[in-house]
Amino acid sequence: MDTVTNSPAPAGKGRRTLKRRLADFFVSLYRVNQFILRFFKEAFLPPFELKETVRQCFEVGVRSFTLISLTGFIVGVIFTKQSRPSLSSFGATSWLPSLVSIAILRALAPLVTALIAAGKVGSSIGAELGSMRVTEQIDAMEVSGTKPFKYLVCTRVLATTLTIPILATYTAFIALLGGYLNVATNEGTSYITFMEQVFEPISFLDFTAAIIKSVVFGFTIGIVGCYQGYYSTKGTEGVGKAANGAVVTAMFLVFVEEILIVQIVGWFR
């Protein structure tokens, strides 16, 4: 009489798959940490690629300028328009400029700027370095004795770290301008009165937190885009994956950092 026994193969295969995924995760985490440490090691040691860094700052700013201008203005107008009915129900429309300034300067300007930069700049960096990797241009630079990491990675990360705070400040200004146009159209508030009410609730801590956010977001976008592109593989398919991975990972990390920084700043209020 034949007996049927259950094979433990599926369970064993599942455990091996889980172990392999955990091992890949920790290997990737190690490579990321080494990549970041290498950046801090090489970015601040001579020779400095100042000319390339300035060029990358120009590229980052120009590449995002038009979209950031349009988005910042729309954010200011829409947020002001959507906030008015809630304040009107309490008879507190005079608080609208203060509400707009708090929302834009504390949260919206750095976050909107970072998300736009992650989509425009992060994907571009990932695709550019990825194409250089799969076409062996980076390997050729290493063989020729140059330092591709300093020239390609350090300059781009420094550019995003320096440029995103400037773009975030510009976004805040454009968003406040959009809010002012909406308030002036409906309440007839003068520009001077609007600006006085805008800066009244804003403290030095708010400005500092916004700048710190922008610097952290810029560094994250640059380092993620460079990492994805620098270690791109599998030919042209890897270039697309590098660009997509740069956008998705950078956006996810930006949201996580936003939560952490808001929590830390809240302890100082």
Domain ranges of the chain: 60-268
| Per-residue pLDDT tens digits for 44-103 | 888 788 898 999 999 888 878 888 999 999 999 998 888 888 777 777 777 888 888 888
Instruction: Scan for tokens 């609007």, then name that residue.
Output: 194
Q: How far apart are CA 196 and CA 119, in angstroms?
A: 35
HSE toward the beta carbon, residue 129, CA cutoff 13 A: 30
Q: How far apart are CA 115 and CA 227, in angstroms?
A: 18
| Per-residue pLDDT tens digits for 89-140 | 777 777 888 888 888 988 889 999 999 999 888 888 888 888 888 888 887 8
Helices (H), the chain: 9-43, 50-88, 96-103, 109-117, 123-134, 137-143, 148, 155-187, 191-199, 204-230, 235-268
Distances (CA, A) of 66 to 11, 117, 250: 54, 12, 21
Q: How far apart are CA 144 and CA 178, in angstroms?
A: 52
Q: Indicate the angle between helix axes 204-230 and 9-43, nearest 10 degrees.
A: 120
Cα–Cα nearest to 195, from 181, 180, 210: 180
Q: How far apart are CA 127 and CA 113, in angstroms?
A: 20
Neighbours of 246 (CB within 10 A): 31
| Per-residue pLDDT tens digits for 142-184 | 777 777 888 888 999 999 999 999 999 999 999 999 988 988 8
61 touches 166 (CB < 8 A): yes
Instruction: Scan for tokens 């809630």, then name that residue.
Output: 86
pTM beyond 0.85: the answer is yes
